[in-house]
Amino acid sequence: MLSSRLRLTRSLPTAPLRLYRCQHTLPPSIAQLFKTPPPLDGELTVQGYVKSVRSLKKVAFVDLNDGSTSSNLMCVLTPEQAETLKTGQSVSFTGQWVQSKGKEQAYELKIIPGSENVKTIGKVPETYPLQKKLHTLQYLRTLPTLRWRTNYLASVLRFRSFTDSKLHDFFNKEGFFKTNPPIVTSSDCEGAGELFQIESKSILEDSKKPPFFGKNAYLTVSTQLHLEVLCASLGKVWTLSPTFRAEMSDTNRHLAEFWMLEAEIAFVDSVHQLTRFTENMIKHVVKDLVEDKNGAATDLLNGQRSTDDVDQVVEKLTKRWNNLYETRWASVTYLEALQILKDSGKEFKIPLKYEDGLASEHEKWLAGEYFKGPVFVTDYPKEIKPFYMRLNDDNKTVACFDLLVPDVGEIIGGSVREHDGAKLDREIKERGMKREELDWYMSTRENGTMPHGGFGLGFERLVCYLSGVENVRDVIPFPRAHEECEA
Amino acid sequence: MLSSRLRLTRSLPTAPLRLYRCQHTLPPSIAQLFKTPPPLDGELTVQGYVKSVRSLKKVAFVDLNDGSTSSNLMCVLTPEQAETLKTGQSVSFTGQWVQSKGKEQAYELKIIPGSENVKTIGKVPETYPLQKKLHTLQYLRTLPTLRWRTNYLASVLRFRSFTDSKLHDFFNKEGFFKTNPPIVTSSDCEGAGELFQIESKSILEDSKKPPFFGKNAYLTVSTQLHLEVLCASLGKVWTLSPTFRAEMSDTNRHLAEFWMLEAEIAFVDSVHQLTRFTENMIKHVVKDLVEDKNGAATDLLNGQRSTDDVDQVVEKLTKRWNNLYETRWASVTYLEALQILKDSGKEFKIPLKYEDGLASEHEKWLAGEYFKGPVFVTDYPKEIKPFYMRLNDDNKTVACFDLLVPDVGEIIGGSVREHDGAKLDREIKERGMKREELDWYMSTRENGTMPHGGFGLGFERLVCYLSGVENVRDVIPFPRAHEECEA
């Protein structure tokens, strides 16, 4: 192979090129410094944000954080050096990396004397709201761009990233392929939720022009139908994709824009292959928490807001993870679930009816009060489920499941799909759906159809459940909901 | 901890529960069988699609594929067993896993005699289009749901999945956090492209209702501005996210919906930290191809369409990967790039002008003909770049870069961001942009601002470049473009 340098010298004898410029690397984050500590007593420059300043007579302490970990780097300065420092400022400190005398951290940064070793990069206004005190999550939501700088919410976003990574891991291990089904779709017939319609802004402003896509276009409410097509090609496929529902409901577990993990698996014919698989999937994430591998659990627990009940929160989460990991998860049929709810003698706000399915309060009671952990509910009545689910031999129920968990309720819904084209055709007709709009989808049934099944997991809900966060708005950076589109 | 079983027995003495049902696992794919072969001469059932049938007098051969690998599983049957088999059918074969006598594969499946061991699950119509012959990619695009079943296009989708995984890997290794900036945005001012506007379908049908989000809402053209907010919180962040541009252009490298990898890094102040980082990022993907780790390279090369020039394609790709991996990539300034283009003496369709930037033909010539590999072009004139880029000391150019590659042209664009609030304010004013719509963004400059930079990578373009696919429509499952929204 020709050396690039050679080629360049040959072709460019005169041009003043510096082709291979000095190439810097990125500065290590505080998390990286803790994980792979630099040599003891060595000098280094660290950048981050001032979390708090404590000045005594002869010495000052600054908690420095750069968002990479919930453990602050303790910096030791002279009181003069700390004089102008304020919470929220971005700073650059030069000091020695030394062993800490305190019990709370292994290392600290001993700033080298002299004003040149303490630089303020970015100031904060007098009114900087994130002072070292407890803010309610509700108040923090009014600061959409600043709230992620709190140790607590930053740890939640890192936890979201950790969860994403572990799921990626799991699907790789299981021989799945990650795919990207379309976000824009021309099909409005699945009925999983209210649709958003889209059109080019400039076409909207000039009504004479035909639609951008040549027809009406919508944002997907679920990628499942397209994923089924891809599963007929690649066998085992998954995606983690934004989905959109124009619902007016204002609850702590609904968003108009949310991320859904969906998977579709060829040659699966039992709903319990799917429940087993999803149990393994979540256990794969939880395993790292139980073992605190790479410190993901520590980072989250450490980031818990310094309230009175922090010990309780830590105990609750640790217990939750252990319980998830160590038990085999319960599984009941819909009928059995109804029986349990009726036998409980508890008065629910929404009465129990076979044909109504389970309301959120029923789901939460089942998982939270009765099973005190996750529970699969399978085989719902056909009438309350979508057209594509496989009919059971009883001709009444379909081979489907929901996974219910304490506090959050439903986090996964899945089913075996009806792969018999004739039966599916009949179902589409009986429900009065437009067959021609589903022609593309039905091609999977007409060309080498095979048993298959899959599921959808509400990613924000899983993150809430595993991190103990109550409102989905606090696990997604910029929540979108009815009348809610800040920043 | 209480055993769940115990709890259940106590609370449910009468209900007919089978709480821990028999739990199946998923059937292994053909790729998994090749990777972790079952015991030799053992019996197993394999499901997949018939790729081709070849019947001789005493024996028949079926190439079986389930989409998990471009290597077919050779199955040996009796001619009677193969009688009704047709290309495209989904089947279930029971046989012995034996060593292959042929040279092309290590193992084959020797079907056990008897009709019960060869089951057709799903039939195909007489007109099933994917017979064993070469189809043009253009023709295959007219089969949006079936085309991914060809060995070639399936290998491209698996390659996309591989690329996604390796990038995930790289960002984990580098201490980045994956985030999900919003897809729906109320800001229409970045100017990276034509916008799509969105509204609830039912609100559109009832014009009296106020907008769903309380204001106009659009699909994001780039997540960068939000990513900058998150970088001010977590330090090093990235995302792989769908982005939308309502462009009418009909080229082989533009889509209305495409996936963009974007990253934003705190405390970076030189454009060459970014070029170095992106070079390392792509090399991390390429390393596995050069070393053929986990067979990703073999799978893609094996899947190349059986044309006359397959050897040429394989040679071209192998050379490309080696070259990418082994060289240090060139980097020139915009001025130097212009000089090279002028000195070439070549007549371009679009004339070279300092104030026009580089056209696609210039970019392709630079990377493809001159550097014969990737080249960074840095420091473009301020006037042809967005408002947020950091001004260089010359007061004329900005600290930005594009990465150009042969065949495809630009695949990455990035820059150091202007972190000085006052300078950025001036820029926004001079460009006549609406400051109030950027208030949320400017909060990053007003509260502990810090030097930072980042980039955006067109994911489909990277996949095209690394896999040798010419049209972005062939690396995304369901392409969306002007007047193009099939299936």
| Cα dihedral A249→A252→A254→A258 (10° resolution) | 150
Using alpha carbons only, give the angle B307, B308, B310 rounded to the nearest 5 degrees. Answer: 65
Question: How far B426 CA sits from the closest chain A CA (Å)?
Answer: 18
Question: How far A185 CA sits from the closest chain B CA (Å)?
Answer: 7
User: Using an 8 Å Cβ cutoff, are B391 and B424 in contact?
Assistant: no
H or E element in which residue B73 lies: strand B73-77
pLDDT at A29 over 80: yes
What tokens does A441 get?
Answer: 């989808």
Spatial neighbors of B163 by CB under 8 A, at least 6 apart, are: B285, B459, B462, B463, B466
**By C-alpha distance, which of A267, A232, A237 is closest to A171?**
A237
pLDDT at A302 over 50: yes
pLDDT at B21 over 60: no
pLDDT at B10 over 70: no
User: Using an 8 Å Cβ cutoff, are A59 and A78 in contact?
Assistant: yes
Cβ pair A256:B172 closer than 8 A: no
Spatial neighbors of B10 by CB under 8 A, at least 6 apart, are: none
Residues in B 258-287 with any Cβ partner in A closer than 8 A: 259, 265-268, 270, 272-273, 275-277
Task: Give residue-wise pLDDT tens across range B337-365.
Answer: 999 999 999 999 999 999 999 999 999 99
Burial-class residue A137 by CB neighbours within 10 Å (0-12, 13-18, 19+).
middle
Report the pLDDT averaged over residues B125-144.
92
Residues in A 86-105 with any Cβ partner in B closer than 8 A: 88-90
User: Using an 8 Å Cβ cutoff, are B30 and B68 in contact?
Assistant: yes
User: Using an 8 Å Cβ cutoff, are A276 and A328 in contact?
Assistant: no
Residue A255 has a pLDDT of 96
Q: Across the interface, which of B47, B277, B448 has its CB nearest the CB of A122?
A: B448
DSSP string, B314-333: HHHHHHHHHHHHHSPPEEEE
pLDDT at B245 over 80: yes
Q: How confident is the model at residue B136 (pLDDT cuts 50, 70, 90)?
A: very high
Number of C-alpha atoms within 13 angstroms, CB side, residue A296?
27
Residue A21 has a pLDDT of 45
pLDDT at B407 over 70: yes
Using alpha carbons only, give the angle B299, B302, B304 rounded to the nearest 5 degrees. Answer: 115
DSSP string, A229-296: HHHHHHSEEEEEEEEE-------TT--SEEEEEEEEEET---HHHHHHHHHHHHHHHHHHHHTTGGGH
Q: How confident is the model at residue A190 (pLDDT cuts 50, 70, 90)?
A: low
| B161 to chain A: closest CA residue | A178
- DSSP-derived letter for residue B373 is S
CA atoms of B449 and B419, how far apart (whole Å)? 6
Q: Across the interface, which of B144, B161, B181 has its CB nearest the CB of A477?
A: B181
Burial-class residue B58 by CB neighbours within 10 Å (0-12, 13-18, 19+).
exposed
Q: How confident is the model at residue A18 (pLDDT cuts 50, 70, 90)?
A: very low
Backbone φ and ψ of A358, nearest 5°: -100, 135
In a mutational test of the B interface, the residue from A6, A141, A153, A161 whose CB has the highest number of chain B CBs within 10 Å is A161
CA atoms of B342 and A228, how far apart (whole Å)? 52
- DSSP-derived letter for residue A198 is E
Does CATH number 3.30.460.10 belong to domain A147-474?
no
Residues in B 130-159 with any Cβ partner in A closer than 8 A: 144-146, 148-149, 153-154, 157-158
Give strand pairing partners of A26. Answer: none
DSSP string, B267-320: T---HHHHHHHHHHHHHHHHHHHHTTGGGHHHHHHHHS---TTHHHHHHHHHHH
Over chain A, what is the mean pLDDT? Answer: 92
Task: Name the amino acid, one letter, at B164.
Answer: D
Task: Name the amino acid, one letter, at A384.
Answer: I
* Partner A contacted by B223 (CB < 8 A): no
Q: How confident is the model at residue A192 (pLDDT cuts 50, 70, 90)?
A: low
Give strand pairing partners of A180. Answer: none
Q: Across the interface, which of A265, A330, A447 has its CB nearest the CB of B4?
A: A330
The sign of the torsion formed by the CA atoms of B392, B410, B167, B293 equals negative
- Better pLDDT: A412 or A192: A412
CA atoms of B56 and A430, how far apart (whole Å)? 48
* Partner A contacted by B485 (CB < 8 A): yes
* Partner A contacted by B84 (CB < 8 A): no
Domain-by-domain residue ranges, chain A? 30-133, 147-474
Any idea which residue has 């295959």 for tokens? B140
Task: Give residue-wise pLDDT tens across range A99-128.
Answer: 998 777 899 999 999 999 999 999 999 999
Does the ipTM surpass 0.85?
yes
| β-strand pairing of A196-200 with A60-65 | unpaired
pLDDT at A19 over 70: no
Cβ pair B236:A68 closer than 8 A: yes
pLDDT at B52 over 60: yes
Residue A131 has a pLDDT of 86
Task: Give residue-wise pLDDT tens across range B303-340.
Answer: 987 667 888 999 999 999 999 999 999 999 999 999 99
Q: For domain B30-133, which CATH number applies: 3.40.50.1100, 2.40.50.140, 3.60.15.10, 3.30.499.10?
A: 2.40.50.140
Fold identical between A30-133 and A147-474? no
Residues of chain A contacting B154 with CB distance shorter than 8 Å: 233-234
Residue A134 has a pLDDT of 82
**By C-alpha distance, which of A389, A404, A395, A396 is closest to A358?**
A404
Q: Which long-range contacts (CB under 8 A, 24 or more apart) does B185-188 make?
A: B185/A485, B185/B217, B185/B218, B185/B219, B185/B220, B185/B226, B186/A485, B186/B213, B186/B215, B186/B216, B186/B217, B186/B218, B187/B218, B187/B225, B187/B437, B187/B438, B187/B441, B188/A201, B188/B216, B188/B218, B188/B437
Cβ pair B161:A179 closer than 8 A: yes
| Other C-beta atoms lying within 10 Å of the C-beta of residue B256 | 28
Mean pLDDT check: name the lowest of A348-362, A385-399, B122-136. Answer: B122-136
Please count the helices (runs of H) and the strands (runs of E) in chain B.
14, 17
Residues of chain A contacting B320 with CB distance shorter than 8 Å: none
DSSP string, A366-418: IIIIISSS-EEEE--BGGGS-TTBPBPTTSSBBSEEEEEETTTEEEEEEEEE-
Cβ pair B160:A179 closer than 8 A: yes
- In total, chain A counts a number of residues equal to 487
Residue A4 has a pLDDT of 29
Task: Give residue-wise pLDDT tens across range B76-90.
Answer: 999 999 999 999 999
Give strand pairing partners of A484. Answer: A481
Cβ pair A450:B201 closer than 8 A: no
CA atoms of B298 and B106, how far apart (whole Å)? 15
Cβ pair B25:A174 closer than 8 A: no
Over chain B, what is the mean pLDDT? Answer: 92
Mean pLDDT check: name the lowest of A270-284, A299-313, A447-461. Answer: A299-313
Report the pLDDT averaged over residues B40-45.
95
Residue A14 has a pLDDT of 35
Mean pLDDT check: name the lowest of A15-24, A53-62, A331-340, A396-405. Answer: A15-24
Burial B19-35 (b: 16+ CB within 10 A, else e): bebebbebbbbbbbbbe
Residue B249 has a pLDDT of 84
Spatial neighbors of A449 by CB under 8 A, at least 6 apart, are: A232, A419, A420, A421, B90, B121, B122
Residue B310 has a pLDDT of 86
Residue B131 has a pLDDT of 86
What tokens does B267 get?
Answer: 């405390």
Backbone φ and ψ of A7, nearest 5°: -55, -45
| A339 to chain B: closest CA residue | B15
CA B410 → CA B406, B457, B474, distances in Å? 9, 9, 18
* Partner B contacted by A163 (CB < 8 A): no
DSSP string, B82-114: TTT--TT-EEEEEEEEEE-SSSS-SEEEEEPSS
Backbone φ and ψ of A200, nearest 5°: -60, 135
Residues in B 231-250 with any Cβ partner in A closer than 8 A: 232-236, 241-242, 244, 246
A157: left (phi over 0), alpha (psi -120 to 50) or beta: alpha
pLDDT at B58 over 80: yes
